[in-house]
Amino acid sequence: MENINPEAYQESKLYRIRHSTAHVMAAAVLEKFPEAKIAIGPPIEHGFYYDFDLPRPLTQEDLEELEARMKEMLKETREFDYEEISPAEAQELFADQPYKLELIRDILERGTDEYGEKSDSPPQLSIYKSGDFVDLCRGPHVETTKEINPKAVKLLNVAGAYWRGDSERPMLQRIYGTAWRKPKELRQYLAWLEEVKQRDHRRLIRELDLLSFHEDAGPGLAYWHPRGALMRKTIEDFWRDQHLEGGYDFAYTPHIGKAWLWEKSGHLAYYKDSMYAPMDVDGQDYYIKPMNCPFHIMIYNSQLRSYRELPLRWAELGTVYRYEKSGVLHGLMRVRGFTQDDAHIICTPEQIEAEVLRVLRFSLAMLRAFGFEDFQAYLSTRPGDAIGEPARWDQAQESLRRAIDAEGLDYQVDVGGGAFYGPKIDLHIKDALGRSWQLTTIQFDFNLPERFDMTYVGEDGAEHRPYVVHRALLGSIERFFGILVEHYAGAFPIWLCPEQARLIPIADRHIEYAKAVEEQLQQAGLRAQTDASSSRMGAKIREAQLMKVPYMLIVGDREAEDETVSVRLRSEENLGAMTVEDFIVRAQEAIQTRAVQ
């Protein structure tokens, strides 16, 4: 998938094609359901949608019928005619379209556009007509349906969507479709969707025997099987080593704490819906932690702190539990129990700039080690309901901005998008399929230091309030793992593979030699196993291929005689025979460089 920036997209012909195709779809829906109420239908990243209030739920068959009708409509030449109209005309025209009337009201009264976003231009109502279909719309559209290739259009699925994205308002039916310039582009997009499906971590974690979920034991709770657990250990060991080198200290904190902690932190006031119900311990309410911060603060406050010991950088792979609503759980990407690669940086105002740059660099190095190269940064600044001194906000935001500049990252500013307690940087990576995932978050907190009265004694002998920065680089281990699975389609870099090499004896008489080589490889620190099953060699190779084992080492009479292994890669490349020593050197090199094969 090509990636184009949002501004260029909105200017593009493709954008107009999709917008116009959405109108044609709405025309087909209105033809089939004359009583339908239409809402909005914008182009989106890979297509378009349109929301409808319909007399009955749509079926897959309806979708096919609508698509067929759209294609007929597209074969007729219809012009998309723009017209500016007065409020009275608009109200007349859309008299039986309550959603449109609401939009008209908003455009006139609030100066927003038809998607509810602030518009710079003075309120002006406009419509587009094509055939019998008229829609309140500012455009832009194609000139005529001739510009839309019916063979490059497809309706994809139906889903529920709240009117204006508001869960208090009616649930509409949203039809998603896609449209491209050429049929070939549509085919490529459909192939891409198929690739997305093939790489779905929910399928791969089962097929590769890495993790499972158990609906009967609790949804949204991940079970790490031995192969997955070995990968997780490898990730965590690397993470710890890096943190040690990176100037962090470690903390381990409890999984539960008394209610006052969460009252004091404000979580019970603002976050209770996402917390599990308390448990009674000796008549006291204890909550399972949804975050690690209050515990790290307990450590900080366990003694008087001097400016001389700052900055403190305390890292913890902290497992937290959050009650996520049932409809939002999604494999490893959204779970109810997960381990954050958390850390808190506690420092003086003088140190903050250097600390922010340091943590940003650290994060980029960490993500690069896992094979991610394409980063975008998002800076979220002070919202309206912020707490904390404006001067501190300014300093924090500036330090974040300068760090991004220093690293030369592309970034966007989400003005007012910060949490009420502090500004933040989020880092997104692009995966092998061009999809964007948020991983790192570097987040100031002006709230907790106040609430827990965190202080340090400064050079002047007076008490000062430290800066606190929360940060998670990988985010959650579970989610990061899911992203790795999809990014590599299960064919992980060798250093991460649970099984790095598989010995494949051709006949039973070669098992003894295979086991000897296995032992030799294990001595050299390689994760190797012998397939001693009664299957034929072809079946063993197939099995190892499906498990995406990077090295298949075939051993038969020749290899046993020469003390070699015949090396096959999961790429299907056959390297031929080499001595066991040569193979070990080769594999260790790939592991040490964290090579992406």
Partner RNA sequence: GCCGACGUAGCUCAAUCGGCGGAGCAUCCGCCUUGUAAGCGGAGGGUUGUGGGUUCGAUUCCCACCGUCGGCUCCA
Contacting residue, 144, 545, 588, 597, with RNA by CB under 7 A: 545
Query: Of the listed 340, 351, 443, 500, which one is catalytic?
Result: 340
Q: Is 464 a catalytic residue?
A: no
State which of residues 244, 412, 542, 589 lies at the interface with RNA (CB under 7 A): 542
CB of 58 to RNA, least distance (A): 7
Q: How far is the CB of 152 from RNA (least distance, A)?
A: 20
What DSSP string describes 378-431? EEE---TT--S-HHHHHHHHHHHHHHHHHTT--EEEETT-SBTTB-EEEEEEE-
- Please tell me which residue in 23, 322, 487, 568 is annotated as part of the active site: 322
Q: Out of 19, 267, 470, 487, which one is annotated catalytic?
A: 470
Task: Pick between residue 127 and residue 514 the one whose CB is nearest to RNA.
Answer: 514
Residue among 71 and 435 whose Cβ is closer to RNA: 435
Site for RNA in 550-569 (CB under 7 A): 552, 554, 556-559, 566, 568
**Is the separation of the CB atoms in 578 and 567 below 8 Å?**
yes
243 as an active site residue: the answer is: no
3-state secondary structure of 468: strand
Vertex 131, ends 128 and 135: CA angle to 5°? 30
Residue 146 or residue 214: which is nearer to RNA going by CB? 214
Please tell me whether residue 506 binds RNA under the rule CB under 7 A.
yes
Residue that is written with structure tokens 């068959």 in the block: 61
Distance in angstroms (rounded) separating the CA atoms of residues 464 and 274: 33
Which of 232, 228, 277, 241 has the alpha carbon at shortest distance from 256? 277
Query: Looking at 164, 199, 232, 344, which residue is catalytic?
Result: 344
422 is a contact residue toward RNA (CB under 7 A): no
| Least distance CB 400 / RNA (angstroms) | 17
Q: Could you tell me if 275 and 267 are in contact, meaning their C-beta atoms sit under 8 angstroms apart?
A: yes
For tokens 């990252």, the residue is 409
Rounded CA-CA distance 299/292 in Å is 11
Which distant-in-sequence residues (6+ apart) come within 8 Å of 550 by Cβ?
A: 491, 494, 497, 500, 501, 569, 570, 590, 597
Sites for RNA among residues 510-539 (CB under 7 A) = 534-539
| 293 catalytic residue (yes or no) | yes
Asked if 213 contacts 186 with a C-beta cutoff of 8 angstroms, the reply is: no
228 DSSP assignment: H
Indicate if the alpha-carbon torsion angle 347, 350, 356, 362 is positive or negative: negative
Give the nearer residue to RNA in terms of CB position, either 54 or 400.
54
Min CB(324)–RNA separation in Å: 7
From 342, 426, 445, 531, active-site residue: 342
User: Rounded to an integer, what distance in angstroms lies between the CA atom of residue 197 and that of residue 547?
Assistant: 18
Residues in the chain: 597
The answer to whether 313 and 343 are in contact (CB under 8 A) is yes
Name the maximum alpha-carbon separation found in the chain.
93
The least CB distance from residue 569 to RNA, in Å, is 9
Compare residues 220 and 498 and give the one whose CB is closer to RNA. Answer: 220
Q: Which of residues 108-167 bind RNA (CB under 7 A)?
A: 157-162, 165-167
Is residue 295 at the binding interface for RNA, with CB under 7 A as the rule?
Answer: no
- In three-state secondary structure terms, 339 is strand
Contacts (CB under 7 A) with RNA, residues 211-230: 213, 215, 219-220
Distance between start and end Cα atoms, the chain = 22
The answer to whether residue 374 is catalytic is no
Smaller CB distance to RNA: residue 374 or 557?
557
The one among 69, 71, 202, 240 contacting RNA by CB under 7 A: 202
Residues 463 and 33: their CA atoms lie apart, in Å, by: 70
**Catalytic: 445?**
no
Per-residue binder mask for RNA (CB under 7 A), 247-276, x = binder: ------------------xxx-xxx--x--
- Give ∠ CA 40-44-47 in degrees, rounded to 5: 105
The C-alpha atoms of residue 316 and residue 318 are separated, in whole angstroms, by 5
3-class SS shares of the chain: helix, strand, coil, % to 5: 40, 30, 30
Half-sphere exposure of 505 (CA within 13 A, CB side): 19
Q: How far is the CB of 55 from RNA (least distance, A)?
A: 12
Nearer to RNA, 73 or 587 (CB): 587
Among 20, 130, 173, 381, binds RNA (CB under 7 A): 173
Site string for RNA, 2-21 (x = CB under 7 A): --------------------
Among residues 78, 137, 243, 293, which one is catalytic? 293
Quick one: 126 or 545, whose CB is closer to RNA? Answer: 545
Mark whether 340 is an active-site residue.
yes
123 vs 556, which CB is nearer to RNA? 556
Contacts (CB under 7 A) with RNA, residues 48-67: 57, 59
Q: Which of residues 442-501 bind RNA (CB under 7 A)?
A: 447-448
Looking at 313, 424, 502, 548, which residue is catalytic? 424
Residues of span 574-593 touching RNA by CB under 7 A: 574, 576-577
Check if 181 is active-site.
Answer: no
Closest CB 248 distance from RNA, rounded Å: 22
Q: Which residues of 268-299 are buried (b: 16+ CB within 10 A; e: fewer)?
A: beeeeeebeebeeeeeeebbbbbbbbbbbbee
- Minimal distance in Å, beta carbon 34 to RNA? 21
Tell me which H or E stretch contains 125.
strand 125-130
How many residues belong to the site for RNA (CB under 7 A)? 69
Nearest CA to 196 out of 427, 479, 1, 429 is that of 1
Site residues for RNA, 302-361, by CB under 7 A, read: 324-331, 334
Residues carrying an active site annotation: 293, 322, 340, 342, 344, 424, 470
Residues that bind RNA (CB under 7 A): 57, 59, 157-162, 165-167, 171, 173-174, 202, 206, 213, 215, 219-220, 265-267, 269-271, 274, 291, 293, 324-331, 334, 419-421, 447-448, 506-509, 534-539, 541-542, 545-546, 552, 554, 556-559, 566, 568, 572, 574, 576-577
